[in-house]
Structure 1
Amino acid sequence: MPSLIPTLLPLRALHALLGCFVLAWAGSAAAQVSPQMAADLSAITQRWLDDALAQNAQALPLRMEVSVGTLDPRLTLAPCARVQPYLPAGSKLWGRTRLGLKCVEGAVAWNVFLPVTVRAFGPAWVLNGNVASGAVLTQADASQAEVDWAADAAPVVANESWVGQIAARPLVAGQALRQPMLKTPDLFRAGAQVRVVAQGPGFAVTSAGQALSAGGAGQIVRVRMDNGRIVSGIVNENGAIDVAL
């Protein structure tokens, strides 16, 4: 599939571009940058990005692409012997983010942020048509396509577990299926009598209780036991509540 955004840069091009940006900033006060300093800055920036992106994309079948923003043109930065790239607290190399660059060896300490957009293309399921809220999804409702997993913070549904699930809200044709869009069908209603299976090392005890809410497979629900005690457990595919002891 061709790139959805033709202006995206491959990672190696990003590394080279970041190296140029760092050199330009380091010499913005008319200081001469030596070839060795240029090589060191480029190597540090490339190594940091290689390591960080490898950790984020580890074990995922994704094609990573990155586009780079620009700094405020009004910035003036003093010469710097060593620039350290870093990811700001609360940020990650996913979707729209920013990369920090700070001078750690220079007459004047400075810290700037470079806007970066990381796109991670991989297989997902895309809706063929609109789906009403509460409708049960069937195999005909979506087809596989390559999408940008990082376009939204919510995880994509990459396997076929969506078949038989319920639309949690109105869904629109062309949307990639993501986990918050779906919910599992209820296996029982609030107030229903349910089977509770308490499991411990080498034993299991089955008893009855009253569900305090509706529940579907994989959901956590609370149950009032016959003695009045309230326990929490996970609904299994058979509608019983598994409680770990």
Structure 2
Amino acid sequence: MKALHGGLAAIFLLVSPLTQASDLQEQLTSLFAQRLAGFSDEVVVNIRTPKNLLPACEQPALSVIGSAKLWGNLNVLANCAGAKRYLQVNVQATGNYVVAAQSVARGSVLQPGSVALKRGRLDQLPPRTMLDITQAQDAVSLRDLAPGQPVQLSMLRQAWRVKAGQRVQVVASGEGFSVNGEGQALNNAAVAQNARVRMASGQIVSGTVDSDGNILINL
């Protein structure tokens, strides 16, 4: 009987860490599924930390540390009532990303048919691959793109809403007042970017480009 009890105890000691690791993996998967909501609908988390270094409690407080990355190799802080463990995990995420739907020449303005969404592993894509297809609307390609190629944010720029030398309206506003004037843009700028303007008086002012091409200054 003692031998039987000893055998059961040994089995329990072997199974308990495995069960604990399984529960921790489920908690990590839930954490990253929430973190990646809107980007990925399929998340797999693999724990790279050895089992003997995992947190001792069943429900540690988990938080991602030291990285702005959403997937790939990441560090997670597990806090068990003040006892901290740092975990290494690998996060695999599947979702939609933007690819070139056809050949695009450098300097071309992207049209609706220029890009498309493709589903795949986001963690295996080049850095800063575009996930929101609306970001490509009316953008200008800074390089040649091949069909099926993932589109990185660094490959595009927004179309200029204001160009250097263009006559623009400047709207300066503050609490209870608004003043309009005309000037000449000194630099190219897209919507929401900063533009410098030389006014008729020779004064140079700076403001934000709106969707109508006006330069807005908040006083």
Paired amino acid for 2:65: A
Question: CA, structure 1 residues 190+86, in 2 after alignment: closer, same or farther (shift >3 Å)?
Answer: same
Q: 1:54-108 CA distances to partner (integer Å, 9 max, x unpaired)?
A: 44124x163223253745xxx7957974485755632256221224477969xxx
Matching of residues 14-29 of structure 1 within 5 Å: none
Verify: 1:119 aligned to 2:93, yes or no: yes
- Inter-partner Cα distance in structure 2 for 1:156 and 1:199: 35
Give, in angstroms, the shift of residue 46 of structure 1: 3.1
Paired amino acid for 2:139: Q
Question: CA, structure 1 residues 126+88, in 2 after alignment: closer, same or farther (shift >3 Å)?
Answer: closer
- Inter-partner Cα distance in structure 2 for 1:115 and 1:244: 46
Q: Please state whether the residue corresponding to 1:33 is helix, strand or coil.
A: helix
Q: 1:147–1:176: 8 Å Cα contact kept in structure 2?
A: no
- Inter-partner Cα distance in structure 2 for 1:191 and 1:241: 14
Q: 1:41–1:82: 8 Å Cα contact kept in structure 2?
A: no
Verify: 1:33 aligned to 2:7, yes or no: no
In the superposition, the TM-score normalised over structure 1's length comes to 0.63
Q: Hey, what does 1:96 align to over in structure 2? A: 72
Question: CA, structure 1 residues 129+202, in 2 after alignment: closer, same or farther (shift >3 Å)?
Answer: same
Q: 1:157–1:179: 8 Å Cα contact kept in structure 2?
A: no
- Inter-partner Cα distance in structure 2 for 1:125 and 1:46: 30
Q: 2:65–2:77: 8 Å Cα contact kept in structure 1?
A: no
Aligned length: 206
- Inter-partner Cα distance in structure 2 for 1:79 and 1:180: 39
Q: Hey, what does 1:63 align to over in structure 2? A: 41
Paired amino acid for 1:97: N
Q: 1:126–1:143: 8 Å Cα contact kept in structure 2?
A: yes
Verify: 1:53 aligned to 2:29, yes or no: no
Verify: 1:234 aligned to 2:212, yes or no: no
Q: Please state whether the residue corresponding to 2:173 is helix, strand or coil.
A: strand
How large is the Cα RMSD of the aligned pairs? 3.9
Question: CA, structure 1 residues 208+168, in 2 after alignment: closer, same or farther (shift >3 Å)?
Answer: same
Give, in angstroms, the shift of residue 154 of structure 1: 2.1
- Inter-partner Cα distance in structure 2 for 1:33 and 1:101: 25
Q: Hey, what does 2:114 align to over in structure 1? A: 141
- Inter-partner Cα distance in structure 2 for 1:101 and 1:90: 10
Q: 2:197–2:204: 8 Å Cα contact kept in structure 1?
A: yes
